[in-house]
Structures are given as structure tokens and as C-alpha cells.
Structure 1
Amino acid sequence: MDGKAYRSNAVSRDQIVFLTDYPEGKAVDVYYNPLDVTDSVLVRSPLQHSYLYIAIFLFTVIIIATLYWTVKNWREGV
């Protein structure tokens, strides 16, 4: 494991890509670009979309807190 990012541009659309030597703690993205003649394999950080996860978590907390406050006030008859 040398810690480098690996990219393969020489893969046809009919082949399955196996990336066996990639840095630990990294995820492998396989995506298809219809404007390109090749598929690409990129090694990316697993924290690449962490802001999205944080936003979803905060949104969920706000919804739960709002529901709790609404039910609490409804039971008290406010």
C-alpha cells in the first residue's frame, strides 16, 4: 500500500473493474460517463460526503425536537 490514488482510463464498458490494491480507509468509486469512451475508477476519501451526513443528522434532530415540543404543548393544553 503506497497511499497513491489509482485511476484507470483503459477500461472498456463491457469489463468489470477490480481494484485490489488501494490505500486502507479509502472507498472505491466506479462511475460511467456517457460522453467518455472509457469507465473510470477513482479512489476517494470516505469523508467526501460527510457534510451531507451532518446536514441530514441535524435536520432529523430538528424534526424530532419540533415534534416533541408540539406534543408536549398539546398535552399541556397551551
Structure 2
Amino acid sequence: MLKTIYAYGLRRTEINDTWPLADVQQCVVDLVRASLKYTSRKCWSRITTELRAIYTAPTVEAANYCSTSSSRNGNRNTRR
């Protein structure tokens, strides 16, 4: 029997030690918060919109498409 575990505050290794066949998923909110640690606050609204599309994509191919389409738009806030 395959179990899906939503990891809130647990490490993937801790869960896999207990349930080796479990599918471990993290909450989208936790993933976005972790990503925002490395960005400027003024970019958060644009970044969260793009990350939400990537993290909630139904397939890996759809997530890759979202990722490449956002990178094609370019980062308008880079310093030169």
C-alpha cells in the first residue's frame, strides 16, 4: 500500500526511514516561503505568481514549461 505523506516540519529522510515506500510531499506554501528567503521583498508578488504556477503544475512537463516561459520573460530587476 502506497502512502502519501504531507511533510510539515519533518525531513524527507526521517519519513523514509519510517515508511520507505511513502511518497513525501511538501505544502506549496512552505515551498514558496523557502524560496522567498533568497529574493528581494519588492520582487515577491511576481515571484510568488510564477512559483505557484510551477509548484502546482499537474505534470513535470507543465512545470518545466512554466519555468522556461518565465525565464524567457527575463528578470527585469537584475543589475547591470
Per the normalisation by structure 2, the TM-score is: 0.23
Q: Which has the higher helix share?
A: 2
Structure with the greater alpha carbon radius of gyration = 1
Higher relative contact order (CA 8 A, sep 6+): 1
